[in-house]
Amino acid sequence: MDVPAGDYRLIASNRAPNGNLSAREYLFSTAKAKTTEISIDLPYAQITEHMENKEIPDFRLMDQKGNSYALKDLAKDVPLVVMWLEEGKEPTEHILNELMEWYNGFNNTGSRVMFILKNESSLSDTTLQKVLNCGLKADVFYGDFEKDAPRVAESLDKDRNKFPLVFITTDGLHSVYTFSGYNVGMAELLLKILNAVS
């Protein structure tokens, strides 16, 4: 790239699942009408080094046919990505758009994706409909956003009022990773974690 002559600092970073950044700093100078070459290596962070093991309180969900299930019964056979969604709001819209980009990767992990919505009217959201029709293997359930979502958020040390609330469980009631609110690149990061635990 063309830049004015001068002294520069370039920082390359890699976001870990817990939100921490590993970074490398490069300091260099450029002279007028000269080419300066630098080699950049992205810092590497082991996904497994940043995973957690947090217990989640059990709660009940209702499927689209009105059947009631406990989370521990739904999340015991394969890794499960659970997403409490606030459809129509920007942080949820962002993760849904990312899921459409990475849906093949999620399907290939053998894991399951679960969307938890407030009620049936939530299904009318345009972006949610696009995700449900893009090919992503996702199950839709309805949950209690007044009682259960805050309890789950607090057990995972997340803000009880920030959605989406997302966690991955591998054995029912233990989360290996969680996030809430607005996070860029989370679909890709969730996919890396799923590949590490599958």
Name which CATH class applies to 54-197.
alpha beta
Contact 91, 164 (CB under 8 A): yes
φ/ψ (deg, to 5) at 80: -130, 125
pLDDT digits (tens, 9 = 90+) for 119-156: 999 999 999 999 999 999 999 999 999 999 999 999 99
Q: Are strands 80-84 and 165-169 parallel, antiparallel or unpaired?
A: antiparallel
Three-state DSSP state, 15: strand
Give Cα separations from 189 to 58, 80, 105 (angstroms). 25, 14, 11
Domain residue spans of the chain: 6-45, 54-197
pLDDT digits (tens, 9 = 90+) for 82-97: 999 999 999 999 999 9
* Lowest model confidence (mean pLDDT) among 52-56, 63-67, 91-95, 162-166: 52-56
Three-state DSSP state, 12: strand
- The pLDDT-based confidence of 66 (bands split at 50, 70, 90) is very high
Contacts (Cβ under 8 Å, ≥6 apart) of 39: none
